[in-house]
Structure 1
Amino acid sequence: MEGIGDEIGDEIGEGSREVEVEEEEEDFIWRYEPQSSSDEEEGGEDCFTTPKKRMVVTAYGEEEEVLELKVGMVFPCWEEIEEQFRGYAKQKGFGIACRCGTVKSVVGSDKEKGIGKEKRNCLWTCECYGVPERRRKASDSLHEVIGSGVRKSKKCQCPVHVFASVNKLGEWVIRRAVMVHENHHPTPSKSRIIAYNRKKFLRENPHVLRQANVCSQSGMSVAQTYNLMAVQRNGRGRMPFLRKDLNGVVVKVRKARTSGGDARAMFDYFKKMKADNSDFFHVYWQDAKGMLQDVLWVDARSRAAYEEFGDVVCFDSTYLTNKYKMPFANFVGVNHHGQSILLGCALVSHENSDTFEWIFGN
């Protein structure tokens, strides 16, 4: 009886093991690897290693394959579900969006008020989910064809979505998961045009931002900087971000450098020059609303030169190179060597008699 029982137990064990292998064959490839020299010598056929995910090649290079979400999967928090879904979408070549979700008030989550909110369920969809907006131009007449003047939209009623909620144990369980796209065909190469992936790449690679800032300070335009980076990566097709993303980064750095505005940065420079040399002179004029109109400044060297070579002064206001379209005017004289010397500078808002009278009066 003991021998028969052992044989039956062995058969049940082998049968259950075969069922487990069949269930996991969709996601993993099981293979035997000896854990030690003894296992290899004894030929341990029943020893299995931890399943390993396959490596896939995407537009960003070789990455570990992310498994698609399925109904019944359990996660400790909703952030992990979103991260898993974003990784899967990145490898397949489509973007996702967090559409909606409900929250519940919880006592004790906020230290100050004693009452906070926790998310209870959430819906993530493909970025092409929903009906396209069919807005018409205001100039279109009612007798025109309905399709004319319609704004373009990437929404094509794609049904791909993932819905998850919290169970009684506080775990997040996937309730619905649809992964079949309709009306569009995502490919891994399209991951480079997804806005979230482009911004994430720039955040995770600060050396790209440093290179863009250095090129900007050296006088290169954003287009020239982007073309330089594209050459370094063997073409624009391998660029993980677009030129408008690089332009946004450069503009953000410029704004941070002059957080109070260009006018504030200019007056901070004047204040620094005044602290270095008390002979530095500057004056400005504002309108009734407090808007800056005209600025005049003269450094100490120009004031000393004016005392010696101020017999003949040339006033030129033909320069117009700044982004505010304000003419840059300068006072130029001639020294005893026949060389032109700068005697003063000004930014004027209007080339009229009132502005010139204010400039010459100061």
Structure 2
Amino acid sequence: MKIPRISSVGREAENDARDYLNVAEDSHQFSPLFQVVGSVFPGIPGAVPIDLSDPFIGKHYPTVNAAEHSFRGYAFRKGFSIRRNRSWANGQEATLMKRVWVCSCAGHLKGKQPIEGVQQRDRRNSRADCKVVLRASKRPHKLFPDVIEREVIAFKTEHSHPLVPGDGARSLAAYRNISEYCREQLIKYKATGLNVAASVRLLELDTGARAREFPFTEKDVRNYLACFFSGEEEMDASKMVDVPEKAQMDDEDFIYRYKMDEEGRLEHLFWMPGESVRLYRKFGDVVCFDTTCKLNTYDMLFGIMVGVNNHGQSVIFGCCLLRNEKTATFTWVFETWLEIVRKPPVAILTDQDGCIVDVIAKIFPSTKHAFSCSGHSIIPSFLRSTHRLPSMYRSTLMLSVRFQ
């Protein structure tokens, strides 16, 4: 974890910040504040002071971070948040001498100067000139002069604004935080294809937390996952293309085609096992093309081309992953398919999509086109019958599952 830099505080304050981060990371309690308000006591390795009492004038803390988190815990219980305001350091020794914390609503917000021709966001003013303040100063311990502590020398508690009632303080931005453990679990859930809502529910079961007890919202999770996976977007295309490449090593007749967009991301993917090509040449007179299903992970359409053999059994002629349902997309699919099989079907069944109608009329002018009345029941009924299919067809279905 990155250690926050503290302006004009020197090496001692930076060490205090490092102590706090080490303690916070070792604490696996799932409370909004992790219940950690101090750092390791000098001379007592591993000892972590837990202070949940309210601050008061004359109270002593082992480090400046202990004072800050005691005040932060007090603010959380009362229903407001705090921020750092000012600090004083010894210029010669570069050590922090005094630190001031105030309510997040302290002070006045300076208005922006309007710029002609530039539209500016109208943000809510969160400053209310609140006078709540806590000031801590560096003092030697009364019994052990060599031990340096922080003493509260000023503490005001009168607010000029309403406080957040009940447990509403956990929704304040200052207290929303995703712990390292939760981050690791959320990344695993995302990799399996779970959406954000399902991931949070599963995390509640995993940690034993009650509903909405976490110090973060679903929006925070969505933003974190988007930020985490943004660096892997360029690698996703190569990873997905690796799957049919490996399948081609086991099946020399395995055929696949793909298309990248301008940003190097996978746009479309089409594949046909060698056995599917041979079966299409025998039983490809009538084909049903369905795009009902969708991948959760990449929000891509999963298309499947299904036919029937002489025994009335369902067979797969090909599968595809599509970015959207536009005319250019279906044009690419059917042109790629025709390039591989080199024989248009006699009849094709699809759903009632205007784009597909125009594309089929253009690419397959002699093919009879009909709309499937069963629509959403094509793939589910086909999947229920896969126990009767040879292993080759089941492996083809599993190929699409791996992309998730």
Task: State whether structure 2 residue 264 is matched by structure 1 residue 286.
Answer: no
> Could you say which residue in structure 2 is the equivalent of 1:191?
169
Alignment gaps of 5+ in structure 1? 1-57, 108-116, 140-148
> Compared with structure 1, are the counterparts of its residues 80 and 65 closer, same or farther at alpha carbon in structure 2 (3 Å cutoff)?
closer
Task: Tell me how far 1:81 sits from its aligned partner.
Answer: 1.3
Task: Tell me how far 1:80 sits from its aligned partner.
Answer: 1.0
Counterpart amino acid of residue 155 in structure 1: R
Counterpart amino acid of residue 160 in structure 2: E
> Could you say which residue in structure 2 is the equivalent of 1:66?
53
> Compared with structure 1, are the counterparts of its residues 204 and 317 closer, same or farther at alpha carbon in structure 2 (3 Å cutoff)?
closer
> Compared with structure 1, are the counterparts of its residues 203 and 78 closer, same or farther at alpha carbon in structure 2 (3 Å cutoff)?
same
Distance 2:265 2:200 in 1: 35
What SS does the aligned partner of 1:87 have? helix
Task: Tell me how far 1:155 sits from its aligned partner.
Answer: 3.0
Q: Which of residues 194, 197, 222 is equivalent to 1:222? A: 197
Task: Tell me how far 1:315 sits from its aligned partner.
Answer: 6.3
Counterpart amino acid of residue 160 in structure 1: V
> Compared with structure 1, are the counterparts of its residues 259 and 234 closer, same or farther at alpha carbon in structure 2 (3 Å cutoff)?
closer
TM-score by length of 1: 0.55
> Could you say which residue in structure 1 is the equivalent of 2:24?
none
> Could you say which residue in structure 2 is the equivalent of 1:86?
72
Task: State whether structure 2 residue 158 is matched by structure 1 residue 180.
Answer: yes
Counterpart amino acid of residue 68 in structure 2: E
Task: Tell me how far 1:136 sits from its aligned partner.
Answer: 11
Distance 2:88 2:337 in 1: 63
Task: State whether structure 2 residue 303 is matched by structure 1 residue 316.
Answer: no
Q: What is the root-mean-square deviation in Å for CA atoms of aligned residues?
A: 5.2
Distance 1:101 1:271 in 2: 60
Task: Tell me how far 1:305 sits from its aligned partner.
Answer: 3.3
Task: Tell me how far 1:176 sits from its aligned partner.
Answer: 3.6
Task: State whether structure 2 residue 272 is matched by structure 1 residue 298.
Answer: yes
Task: State whether structure 2 residue 314 is matched by structure 1 residue 340.
Answer: yes
> Compared with structure 1, are the counterparts of its residues 335 and 198 closer, same or farther at alpha carbon in structure 2 (3 Å cutoff)?
same
What SS does the aligned partner of 2:179 have? helix
> Compared with structure 1, are the counterparts of its residues 156 and 209 closer, same or farther at alpha carbon in structure 2 (3 Å cutoff)?
farther
Q: Deviations over 1:166-202 (max 9, x none)?
A: 4698654445432222222354543333344453xx6
1:135–1:151: 8 Å Cα contact kept in structure 2? no
Distance 2:272 2:86 in 1: 60
Distance 1:335 1:358 in 2: 23
Task: Tell me how far 1:288 sits from its aligned partner.
Answer: 5.5
1:166–1:172: 8 Å Cα contact kept in structure 2? yes
TM-score by length of 2: 0.50
> Could you say which residue in structure 2 is the equivalent of 1:245?
217
1:313–1:331: 8 Å Cα contact kept in structure 2? no
Task: State whether structure 2 residue 175 is matched by structure 1 residue 203.
Answer: no
> Could you say which residue in structure 2 is the equivalent of 1:351?
327
What SS does the aligned partner of 2:127 have? coil
Task: Tell me how far 1:226 sits from its aligned partner.
Answer: 5.3
- Report % sequence identity: 23
2:103–2:131: 8 Å Cα contact kept in structure 1? yes
Q: Please tell me whether Structure 1 or Structure 2 has the larger radius of gyration of its CA atoms.
A: 1
Distance 1:74 1:59 in 2: 24
Distance 1:303 1:181 in 2: 75
Task: State whether structure 2 residue 101 is matched by structure 1 residue 127.
Answer: no
Distance 1:223 1:155 in 2: 37
Q: Which of residues 106, 117, 135 is equivalent to 1:163? A: 135
Q: Deviations over 1:45-86 (max 9, x none)?
A: xxxxxxxxxxxxx999x997412142x544332211112112
Q: Deviations over 1:292-345 (max 9, x none)?
A: 4332222355345335x3542536365474577765443332212223322112
2:269–2:321: 8 Å Cα contact kept in structure 1? yes
Alignment gaps of 5+ in structure 2? 1-30, 36-49, 141-145, 341-404
Distance 2:306 2:92 in 1: 72
Task: Tell me how far 1:131 sits from its aligned partner.
Answer: 2.7
> Compared with structure 1, are the counterparts of its residues 82 and 299 closer, same or farther at alpha carbon in structure 2 (3 Å cutoff)?
farther
2:261–2:267: 8 Å Cα contact kept in structure 1? yes
Report how many aligned residue pairs link the two structures: 277
Q: Which of residues 75, 87, 91 is equivalent to 2:61? A: 75
What SS does the aligned partner of 2:217 have? helix
